[in-house]
Structure 1
């Protein structure tokens, strides 16, 4: 048989693995070219049941896979060659691990007899990602024995199911000896056989957690609160927090839902809290006696300071079983949420004016913000956010870069009902554009990325994968001349060191960079250009860069003005 011929061994081994992944419902694979991974690459190329994406830079490829997993809740598979190729996955592996995103890394490797001898392109890849994976398996060299093939199939199942159930990264390491390329006839035969499998409906592996029921004592404590508050940080698909609105209704509690929380808008959700909670003079008027926390640690400095101030208040953190979240060390009780919370037929004791206080603070802050958001030259980051968020289509998703964009959304943006994504696991600026590309690939609908100039330049290799995007993806670059997030820190006062070592303004011509990648670029420098430009670009398929030249000083002045807002007491 052809499959038992030595030349076909690596390809046959890889084909067994690829078919097993298909049986588990895997749909996306992101492949970075390489020699040692040839058999794996060809095995995926021979199977039409997968959506294949080619990323020549492994770091960008990994963040693209992260974006796919972030949107779908299922892992995308990464394929790379041996050596430092897999090491370039590490930043995305860390982000996936800490934000609860499923991902599968498949690294090709030199066979064991090359290891430790200084052989070219050979490093120690065993458990390369340390404790950041939920599953690791050294697959072993191709083996035709039936038990070995059964173990390979099981490894594929383990990688998928553990990645989903534990919300993290699986890593399989494949050592290969030459030859990697199969006989041409055998390749064609496998393609023909795969078509039969591809025509079958793709199975959908789902991990159902069911309902989680808590006792009467627990609920009696909750409903006795007169000033309950719900705080929801960024979440992942595995968090299962669809019950938040019902919980808020039961307790009559305000909900502080951050961008990326995916909490639907209701009369209980509060906007603008990153503005009016910055001023600690407002805390007395909005003083909670019970705080229920869900999702990741909040991004908002205002919310985190509020939680610290309320460290004597009963705070309960409901956590994903795979992630312990309490970065502020302020919660008195932690509950592992193993399913959607089953809410009994009870009624809370919140005072009638409690939610009204928060709604009044929201309304007054919005009016105050409107007074400060006006056309100016130069335009401000906040003005760009406010104008674009007004016109983003309901069906479009939004991705926010770290640094100021993720914070400015809470301060300036109205995100009622909008689908917003963030990378807050490790909160780095690496791979932001690539993550947005992955979201676009998986969502197959229009999308918007808000990113600063430094974060954009940090991930320019993402532009190499722009061809993978078929729907409109508008990259809104807030070019304020460097890393202005550092202006929030005391180091900003050390003027002779600050600009050179921290803000680091760059002289890169982003328009020229876009032309080099054959990507549409539009420069915006006047207020009246913002909506007209965005409305045009969001209708055009493909990746478009909308570079907004904003004033760093003016933007900071505007933020400080909003942070100083004072809530008037309720009558």
Structure 2
């Protein structure tokens, strides 16, 4: 039989594994070309049940897989060759592990006898990512004797179920000896067999969960609060937080939901808190007697300081079992949730003016913000965020870069109830554009990426994958000439050192970079261009770059103005 011929063993071994992944319900694979991974690559290419994406840069590939998993809740598969190729996945592995996004890595490797003797493209790949993955397995060389095939199939099921169940990365290492390429007849045979079994099966496992029931003492503490407050940081698909709004209704509590929290809009959600909580003079009117925390550690510096200074207030952190979160070390109780919270028939005792106080503060801050946001030349970062957030199409997603972008959306934008994604596991600027491309592929809807010039340049190899994108994806670059986020830090005082070592001004011609990748580029330098440009680009399929030239000094001055807002919520 063809599958037993020596030339076909590596490909047949890979085919068995790929079919097992398909049986587990996986759909996307991101492949980076390489020789040692030939058998795995051909096995995926021969299976029409997988959507294949090709990226020559493993770092970009990994962040694209992150975006795919962030949206779908199912792991995308990564395939790479041996050596340093695998090491380039590390930043995305850390981000996925810290933010609870499933990914499956299939790394090709040289056989063990090549290790430690200076063989080309050979490194120690065993547990290369340390403790970050939730599952690791050394597959070993192809071997169809005894129970080896059964173990191979089980490894596929383990990888998927551990990655999904524990919301993280699974890494499987495959050792291959030559030949990697099968007999052409066998390749065609496998393709024919795969077509006959290409109907997607139901997953062998279930992600359905029940609900968590808490006791009377717990609910007694909650409903007795006169000034309850709910805080929701960025969340992942493995969180079960659909009960947040019903809980807020029961307690009559304000919800401070950050960009990336995916909390729906309601009368309880409060915007602008990143602005009005920055001024501690506003705190006395907004003093809570119970704080319930969900999701990841908040992005907002003002909100984190608020939590830290309210350490005497009862704070309860509700956490995903795989990811304990309490970066401010201010929680009094920690409760893990692997299912939604069951809310009994209870009624809260909140002060009738409590929610009104927050809504009044929100309204006053928005009025103050509107008075201080006006068209100008140069444009400010805040003005761009204000106009873009007002123009976002209803059926679309938004990806926010780290540094100022995620903070500016909270300070200047209207994001309540909108589909917004962030990479806050490690909060780095690496892989932001690649993540947005993964989201575009997974959501199959128009998308807008808000990013800074440094973050965009840091991930410029993502532009090589633009050809994969079919839906409109508008990359809005806030080009203020460097990393101005550091202006928030005390080091800004050291002007002679600051510009060279921290802000790192750049003069890259982004338009030329886009032309080199055959990507549409539009320059925006006047305030009246913002809305019309976005409305035009978001209707066009494919990747488009909208470069907004903004003033760094003017933008910082505007932020400081809003941070000094004083409420009259009496």
Q: Relative to structure 1, is the Cα distance of residues 515 and 469 closer, same or farther in structure 2, using a 3 angstrom cutoff?
A: same
Residues 136-180 of structure 1: CA deviation (Å, up to 9, x unaligned)? 000010012251010000000000000000000000000000000
Match of 1:350 in 2: 350
The residue matched to 1:104 in structure 2 has which SS? strand
Q: 2:286: which partner in 1? A: 286
Number of the residue aligned with 2:414? 414
> Residue 323 of structure 1 aligns with which residue?
323
Please tell me whether residue 335 in structure 1 is matched to residue 335 in structure 2: yes
Distance 1:318 1:350 in 2: 21
Report if aligned partners of 2:22, 2:200 keep a CA contact under 8 Å in 1.
no
Q: CA deviation at 1:309?
A: 1.1
Cα deviation, residue 569, structure 1: 3.6
The answer for unaligned runs of 5 or more in structure 2 is none
Rounded Cα–Cα distance in structure 2 between residues aligned with 1:46 and 1:524: 45
Please report the TM-score for the alignment, with normalisation by the length of structure 1. 0.99
Name the residue aligned to 2:120: 120
Which residue does 2:238 correspond to in 1?
238
Native 8 Å contact 1:317 1:331 kept in 2: yes
CA distance in 2 between counterparts of 1:519 and 1:211 reads 47
- In the other structure, the counterpart of 1:266 is 266
Secondary structure of the corresponding residue to residue 340 of structure 1:
coil
Deviations 1:208-259 (A, max 9, x none): 2310000000000110100000000000011010000000000000000000
Q: What SS class does the counterpart of residue 393 from structure 1 fall into?
A: coil
Aligned to 2:506: 506
Residue 21 of structure 2 corresponds to which residue in structure 1? 21
Counterpart CA distance in 1 for 2:178 and 2:200 is 33
Contact 2:361 2:569 in 1 (8 A): no
Q: Does 1:471 align with 2:459?
A: no
Q: Which residue in the other structure is 1:137 paired with? A: 137
Write the distance in 2 (CA, Å) between the matches of 1:341 and 1:69: 24
3-state SS in 2 of match to 1:341: coil
3-state secondary structure, aligned to 2:544? strand
Which residue in the other structure is 1:547 paired with?
A: 547
- 1: distance between equivalents of 2:203 and 2:324? 31
2:425 corresponding residue in structure 1:
425
CA contact (8 A) 2:23 2:201 kept: no
Report whether the alignment pairs 1:161 with 2:149.
Answer: no
SS of 1:237's equivalent in the other structure is coil
Judge conservation of contact 1:22–1:202 (CA < 8 Å) in 2: no
> What's the counterpart of residue 481 of structure 2?
481
Say which SS state the counterpart of residue 52 (structure 2) adopts: strand
Quote the residue 1:2 is aligned against.
2
Q: Distance in 1 between matches of 2:416 and 2:296?
A: 20
1:70 maps to 2:74: no
Q: CA deviation at 1:203?
A: 3.9
Supply the distance in 2 between the matched residues of 1:401 and 1:210 (Cα, whole angstroms).
Answer: 34
Deviation, structure 1 residue 521: 0.3
Matched, 1:377 2:377: yes
**1:51-80: CA deviation from partner (whole Å, max 9, x where unpaired):** 000000000000000000000000000000
> How far is 1:205 from its partner?
4.8
Residue deviations 1:276-328, cap 9 Å, x none?
Answer: 00000000000000000000000000100110110010000000000110000
Question: Separation in 1 of the partners of 2:78 and 2:95?
Answer: 15
Preserved CA contact (<8 Å) 1:257 1:263:
yes
Check the 8 A contact 1:167/1:322 in 2, yes or no: yes
8 Å CA contact 1:260–1:419 kept in 2: the answer is yes
* Deviations, residues 176-200 of structure 1 (Å, cap 9, x unaligned): 0000000000000000000011134
Instruction: State the shift of 1:204 in Å.
Output: 7.6
CA distance in 2, matches of 1:353, 1:364: 16
| Residue 195 (str. 1) matches residue 195 (str. 2) | yes
- Does 2:253 correspond to 1:253? yes
Whole-angstrom distance in 2 between the partners of 1:200 and 1:391: 38
Please name the residue that 2:441 is paired with. Answer: 441
CA distance in 2, matches of 1:466, 1:482: 24
Residue number in structure 1 paired with 2:276? 276
CA distance in 2, matches of 1:396, 1:111: 46
Give the drift of 1:207. Answer: 1.8
CA distance in 1, matches of 2:551, 2:202: 50
Residue 35 (structure 2) aligns with: 35
Unaligned runs of 5+ in 1: none
Distance in 2 between the 1:440 and 1:503 partners? 31
What is the SS of the residue equivalent to 2:547?
A: strand
Taking the aligned partners of 2:202 and 2:129, their CA distance within structure 1 comes to: 30
Contact 1:106–1:174 (Cα < 8 Å) also in 2: yes
2:152 maps to: 152
Give 2:228's aligned residue: 228
Q: Where has structure 1 moved over 6 Å in runs of 4 or more? A: none
Aligned equivalents of 1:196, 1:268: Cα separation in 2: 52
User: What secondary structure does 1:56 align onto?
Assistant: coil
Deviation at 1:202, TM superposition (A): 5.8
TM-score (norm 2): 0.99
Q: Indicate the SS of the match to 2:238.
A: helix
Distance between the aligned counterparts of 2:82 and 2:91, measured in 1?
Answer: 17
What is the aligned length? 570
Asked if the contact 1:228/1:251 (under 8 Å) is kept, the reply is: yes
Whether 2:50 is the aligned partner of 1:50: answer yes
What SS does structure 1 have at the residue aligned with 2:140?
Answer: coil
Conservation of the 8 A alpha-carbon contact between 1:25 and 1:205:
no
**CA distance in 2: counterparts of 1:505 and 1:320, whole angstroms:** 40
Residue 11 of structure 1 corresponds to: 11
Measure how far apart 1:338 and its partner are: 2.0
Q: Is the 8 A contact 1:478 1:549 kept in 2?
A: yes
Distance 1:325 1:200 in 2: 37
CA distance in 1, matches of 2:240, 2:91: 26
Deviations 1:522-566 (A, max 9, x none): 000000100110000000000000000000000000000000000
Distance 1:504 1:114, change over 3 A: same
User: How big is the alpha-carbon RMSD for the aligned residues of Structure 1 and Structure 2?
Assistant: 0.8
